[in-house]
Amino acid sequence: MMQRREPRAQASLRITYSEPSGKHHETFITHVGGGGCFIISTTPPSEGTPLHLEFTLPTHHKPIHVGGKVAWRRSEYQGGRPAGIGVTFQNLSTNDKEAIRQYIDAVLSRKI
């Protein structure tokens, strides 16, 4: 796994993501940080797969639309951790990065 450079927080956020083939998935983010997130997936795409992500934070009224790339995958439930993908955000806007930072701060300070 890659080294994280930014703080992250546990989450339970609905997300829709799509693959280049056009296949859409609706699932949940369980961890999010300024650089990426973990998405539950029973059929995780391969490492390196580009994705389009759409999710909303409870602290931000606008949906976040961002590109992503599968950094790593867990193909099955292991050690209490669900199958899914670690995704690195690609071209995250300054406003969306700030919204994610505010969400993480709120979670870590137990305000939400």
The verdict on residue 65 lying in a domain is: yes
Residue 2: predicted pLDDT: 52
The verdict on residue 68 lying in a domain is: yes
The verdict on residue 97 lying in a domain is: yes
The verdict on residue 3 lying in a domain is: no
The verdict on residue 1 lying in a domain is: no
Residue 4: predicted pLDDT: 54
**Based on the structure, what is the number of domains in the chain?**
1
Pairwise CA distance, residues 64 & 24, whole Å: 16
CATH number of residue 65's parent domain: 2.40.10.220
Question: Domain of 90?
Answer: 8-108
Q: What is the pLDDT of residues 58-101, one digit of tens each?
A: 999 899 999 999 999 998 888 888 999 999 999 999 999 999 99
For residue 78, list its beta bridge partners. Answer: 81
- Listed in sequence order, the residues at least 6 apart from 90 whose beta carbon sits closer than 8 Å to its beta carbon are 50, 66, 67, 68, 69
Q: What is the pLDDT of residues 51-69, one digit of tens each?
A: 999 999 999 989 999 999 9
Half-sphere CA count of 108, side-chain side, radius 13 A: 12
The verdict on residue 25 lying in a domain is: yes
